[in-house]
Every structure is written in structure tokens, then in C-alpha cells.
Chain A
């Protein structure tokens, strides 16, 4: 599933953002405002916006 960073994600310290979860590349892509395919830890879910699936 793809996620985009909310403003709150961008304010997280290094010890709490995606760098802490061993993926600096995911962090940098999120910080760039991109939709990123990832499987976030539950601690980060409130700071990420999931992609809405198109309704049929």
C-alpha cells in the first residue's frame, strides 16, 4: 500500500521517523512529498496518509 507523509511526520525527530525503522530511503521519499509503497510500523500510521483505492 502507498502512503504519503502528513505534516506531523515531517516534524518527527530522527529517533522516531522512518530512519529509525531502517529505511532512510523511505523517509526521504516521504519528506519529498511522494506516495511511497511501504509497510509502516504502527507507531507511524497516525503520521501517514494511506492512498485511497478507487471505487468501482
Chain B
């Protein structure tokens, strides 16, 4: 044996998101692929939770027979940090709550589909392909099939990444990571000009109609994804169950008369608005979860942590709407 000569570099890896036709069958070369403008990412290799049997009396050590890799619980997590372009946001909203055409709306009665079954036609699960990322050089590419989006966070701030919006999307899959050569035939690049905090309109940002001077903003939409059962010797899942959703975020602004008028303890929803004229994030019913003051020599800031809800008047009322065009 000898140490292998191959190695992997980040600058040689391209990331693609493929739309699956059937859960559990990876997107094919000629399928619908989107090139993700990633700035960072994380992957996981094959592993499973190691579970241990009870300690036997009269021994103080652990026998091999008492250990098992519980592959019925295996879930791999993939995280993609992408530039916050309109195409990226639309594609992630589609993966997360089924709306991929602006305006993307998360409603009170979402998701439209709560379970996904292996082998059944559905175009919400995705295949994530890391080109040139295989640990085995001959296999070339690493790909994850049957991925379900568990969350998305949009964020930007003055003084961070040039004010550019980032979109962090997380996925999980219960299907074994596969190393194989796979090249998307005609991927669509989700490139474009990312939204930037410098373009926020002079007024119109804030809670409950109060105009705030915004230093930083984030929106996080998260949901649980659980795997159910298993179907074969790879312990691929019988399917997934999704939800519930939680919508939270932060807004940092100048601490002034305007920010002081924001209702923070009235148990009544107030409207959140963020707009640059193209990107419009509207959450009609939010409550402040926490308020802190950042003290500086000048320019004290209010940091509002909020949580968004839907108006109970109708289950079809939106929790948040993200307009990108």
C-alpha cells in the first residue's frame, strides 16, 4: 500500500442543484440543473450514528459486540452559502416551501405536501452535485440524491461582505452519498447581481410603519425534515416528513425616535417591511422576541429579534412574502 497521490481543492469544485423527477432517483445528466453561485459549503461523508449496548456487569471495558452503526437514522447534511441573487432566492424558496416564482409566499397552511415517498414522482427534492469533489479521484464527482431543504437564511449588513446578501441553504438526505462521474448537460447559472443593503430605499424599512435606518437585516425560514423507515440494504428512507416552519430574523437599526416607537410587548402583530424597490420582504404579522441596545461611542443601535406569524383570519394568509423581481 502507498499513500494516494490525489487531492481535492475548493477552487476546482463546482456546485449544481438538480431537480429530481422521482424521489430517490438522482437528477440525470440531461435533467434540470442550476449552477449555484456558492461562496462556501459543507458536506458530509458516509457515516452513521454509533450506538452502544448496556455495560455488562463484571467488565469495565466495551466489547465489539455491543456496538452498532444505526443506519436507520442516517441523515447527511449539506450546507450551501450562496450569493443572494434573485435566481438563488427563487430556487431556494421552491425547495423550501414550494414557491419558486416571485412573489414567493409562505402561507399559514403550508406546506402543500407534508410527506414525500421514495419512488414517487415529485419535483421538490433535489440532487446536489459537487463536481470534482469525490474523495476517490477516479470517481470525480460527489453527489447527494433525495435532498430536502431544511432551511434558508437571507442576510446582509453594512460592513459585511460588501453589503452583499448571502443565502445560506441547508439540506438533508437519507440516501447514501455517491461518488460518480456526472456532468450536467445544460445547467442554468443562478448568477446575477446579488441584492445589496446599500440599495435599500431611504424610507420604508421597519416595523409597524416606523421608518428605520437599517444597518443589518436577516430572515430565517427553517423547518424540520424527518426520515421514515428504510427500504433496502443501503437503508435509504421510505420517505420524508416535513414541517413545521419557523420564521425568525434580526433587524439592526439606528436607535432613535423611530425605533423607539416599535411595539415590543403588546402581543399584537406588526408589519415588517424591507425593500429596495426590487427585493421586497413583507411579513404582515411579526412580534418582537427580543430587543437589545448596542452601545457605541456614536450611533447606538437597536437590535430587534423578531418572529413572524400568519393572521388567524385565514389559513391562506402569508407569514412572509419575498418578492425578487
Contact = CB atoms under 8 A, between A and B. Distances in A.
Contact of A15 (B94, B98, B121): B121
Interface in B107-149: 107, 109-113, 121-123
Interface string A1-21: 000000000000011000111
A37 to B, nearest CB: 11
Interface in A11-34: 14-15, 19-25, 27-29, 32, 34
A17 B94 CA distance: 15
Given A22-B100, A28-B112, A14 B122 contact: yes
A25 B107 contact: yes
A25 B109 CA distance: 9
Nearest to A33: B316
Chain B binding surface SS class: loop
A27 B314 contact: no
Contacts of B99: 22-25
A25 B318 contact: yes
Between A19, A24, A27, A32, the greatest number of chain B beta carbons within 10 A of the residue's beta carbon is seen for A24
Nearest to A29: B316
Interface string B82-107: 00000000000010011111001111
Contact of B98 (A24, A29, A32): A24
B123 A20 contact: yes
Given A24-B112, A25-B110, A15 B122 contact: yes
A21 B122 CA distance: 12
Contacts of B100: 22-23
A15 B22 CA distance: 11
Given A22-B94, A24-B98, A28-B107, A14 B316 contact: no
Contacts of A14: 112-113, 122
Contacts of B112: 14, 19, 24, 27-28
Contacts of A23: 98-101
B98 A19 contact: yes
A3 B308 CA distance: 28
Nearest to A25: B105
A27 B318 CA distance: 13
A19 B111 CA distance: 10
A34 B101 CA distance: 19
A19 B113 contact: yes
Contacts of B122: 14-15
B123 A28 contact: no
Between B98, B122, B123, the greatest number of chain A beta carbons within 10 A of the residue's beta carbon is seen for B98
Contacts of A25: 98-99, 104-107, 110, 318
Interface in A21-52: 21-25, 27-29, 32, 34
A32 B97 contact: no
Contacts of B94: 22
Contacts of B105: 25
Given A19-B98, A19-B113, 6 more contacts: A14-B113, A21-B101, A22-B98, A24-B112, A27-B98, A34-B316
